[in-house]
Every structure is written in structure tokens, then in C-alpha cells.
């Protein structure tokens, strides 16, 4: 049995982490049974979620999870697509993961309104008298991470412009397709959907979301993929 260590559903999303959402989709695309465990964060080998335990093999990182499923379970996520198409798909996923992810992190964690109705709840288990200290320490470290990555050095208007161009690129690749590359999913659909889904989450209000909302095909893709892969969210 495979166990996926996750944060658990929040803000109307399957998971507040797009990387965890991606891992859910990979496992579902692969047709593998798995269970979830929200108690794994403190034991996470790389200090981040997701990771999986596959019959004793611990795999930490959503992309390593994909590669593990391909190697160990013989899953061919990109079946039927050309090398050129697979290269485009991989690049689109990494564009969203390595660039847009940080735009969304800044929007959720550094904007007070979004933080107060979002990530603040993650600290509810901390004792009340130390909670404000912990919160400001973690928000400072998020700010430092964003500065180190580079996205945090740009103004909000510049970040919104980047988001517009980044989503335009993905929207152009998707075109009128059902999935990223055509009428069958490919491996990168997991990460592309997860990142689009996290950005479009209506619980939050920010310019990166507005940038993604300009693209009707991304909105329709998000709705289709949510209905297909997370039917339980509709029922919730």
C-alpha cells in the first residue's frame, strides 16, 4: 500500500500545497490505490510535503514521486506523445512550479488579508501565548525564501505582469485541448493542474489569481480536472 503524507483538504482545495495536489493526481492517473496521512510533516525527510511511503520506500518530492511511479510501477504517464511534446509539457510544469508557485506563496503568506483567512489557520494548534511569535517567525522566513528565490525582489505590479505572461504561455500550450497536450492526459497535467488550481482558488483574492483568470481555457481546464480527479470535493 502507498501512503501519501499530505496537509489535508483546506480552503476548498484537495490540499493547500499544489505539490501535494499534484501527487494525488499522479497516483490517480496511475490508477494506484493509496491512503493519506496528515501526521507526517514533522518526520518529512526534506522538511516538506508531499512524500510517500511505498511499501517501505520513502520518496520525498512530487517529481521524484512521479519518477518512482514510472520506474517501480511501470506507469507511462506520457504514453502516445512525442519527445517534443513531452519536453514542452515538462517545461510548462516547471515554469509553474519554479516561478508561479512563488508568486502564489507571496500572495497567500505576505498579504495580510489572505494570510488571515488562509495560512493563519495552520498555527491554530500552537499554544496561544507563543502563537504570534511563531507566526511572525515563519512569515519572516517565507519573506527570506522569496527574496532568496528572487521573486520577492519584484514589486507587486511586476509580479502580476510576470504571472500574466507565465499563464499566457501555459494557456497557449493548452489551447483548445482537453488536457495539456491533447485528448489524453500526460504526466505534466498533474503539476500544471495543481498549480492552476491553487492559483485560481476563490478563497483568496490577489493579482496572480486575476492574471490566471484572464484565460478562459485555464479556468475551464481547472473545472474539468477538478471534476475528473477530485469528485469528492464537489460532494463536500
* Contacts for 78-83: CB closer than 8 Å, 24+ residues apart: 78/186, 78/187, 79/184, 80/184, 81/181, 81/182, 81/184, 81/186
* Closer residue to ligand GSH, CB minimum distance, 42 or 155: 42
- How far apart are CB 50 and ligand GSH at their closest, in Å? 6
Distance from C-alpha of 77 to C-alpha of 67, rounded to nearest angstrom: 10
Residue 49 vs 174, nearer CB to ligand GSH: 49
Query: At its nearest, how many Å lie between ligand GSH and the CB of residue 63?
Result: 5
CB of 142 to ligand GSH, least distance (A): 8
Q: Give bridge partners of residue 34 from the DSSP assignment.
A: 2
Q: Closer to ligand GSH by CB, 61 or 78: give it.
A: 61
What is the rounded distance in angstroms from the CA atom of residue 77 to the CA atom of residue 209?
28
Q: Please report how close the Cβ of residue 76 comes to ligand GSH at its closest, in angstroms.
A: 21
The length of the chain, given as a count of residues:
236
Q: How far is CA 64 from CA 23, 58, 67, 72, 226, in A?
A: 10, 10, 5, 12, 23
Scan for cell 510576470, then name that residue: 162
Whole-number minimum distance, CB 176 to ligand GSH, in Å?
29
Looking at the Cβ atoms of 48 and 117, the one nearer to ligand GSH is: 48
Q: Which is nearest to 195 in space by CA: 34, 9, 4, 25?
A: 25
User: What's the min distance (Å) between Cβ of 62 and ligand GSH?
Assistant: 4
**39 or 234, CB closer to ligand GSH?**
39
Smallest separation, CB 183 to ligand GSH (Å): 27
> Which single residue is written with the C-alpha cell 484572464?
214
HEC-encoded secondary structure of 45-57: CCCCCCEEEECCE
Residues that bind ligand GSH (CB under 6 A): 17, 19, 47-50, 61-63
Which three cell numbers, joined as nine digits, stand for 60?
520525498
Q: Name the residue nearer to ligand GSH (CB basis): 7 or 220.
A: 7
* Three cell numbers, residue 33: 490505490
- Closer to ligand GSH at the Cβ: 21 or 171? 21
Amino acid at each position: 500500500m502507498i501512503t501519501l503524507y499530505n496537509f489535508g483538504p483546506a480552503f476548498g482545495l484537495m490540499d493547500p500545497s499544489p505539490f501535494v495536489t499534484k501527487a494525488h493526481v499522479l497516483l490517480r492517473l496511475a490508477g494506484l490505490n493509496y491512503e493519506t496521512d496528515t501526521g507526517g510533516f514533522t518526520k518529512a525527510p526534506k522538511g516538506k510535503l508531499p512524500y510517500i511511503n511505498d511499501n517501505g520506500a520513502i520518496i520525498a518530492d512530487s517529481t521524484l514521486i512521479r519518477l518512482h511511479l514510472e520506474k517501480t510501477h511501470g506507469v507511462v504517464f506520457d504514453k502516445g506523445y512525442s519527445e517534443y511534446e513531452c519536453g514542452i509539457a515538462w517545461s510548462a510544469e516547471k515554469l509553474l512550479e519554479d516561478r508561479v508557485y512563488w508568486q502564489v506563496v507571496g500572495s497567500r503568506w505576505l498579504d495580510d488579508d489572505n494570510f488571515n483567512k488562509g495560512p493563519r489557520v495552520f498555527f491554530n494548534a500552537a499554544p496561544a501565548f507563543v502563537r504570534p511569535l511563531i507566526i511572525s517567525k515563519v512569515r519572516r522566513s517565507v519573506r527570506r525564501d522569496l527574496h532568496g528565490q528572487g521573486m520577492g525582489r519584484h514589486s507587486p505590479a511586476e509580479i502580476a505582469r510576470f504571472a500574466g505572461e507565465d499563464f499566457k504561455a501555459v494557456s497557449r500550450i493548452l489551447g483548445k485541448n482537453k488536457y495539456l497536450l491533447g485528448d489524453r492526459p500526460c504526466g505534466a497535467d498533474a503539476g500544471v493542474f495543481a498549480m492552476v488550481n491553487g492559483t485560481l482558488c476563490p478563497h483568496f483574492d490577489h493579482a496572480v489569481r486575476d492574471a490566471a483568470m484572464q484565460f478562459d481555457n485555464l479556468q475551464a481546464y481547472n473545472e474539468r480536472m477538478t471534476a475528473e480527479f477530485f469528485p469528492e470535493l464537489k460532494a463536500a
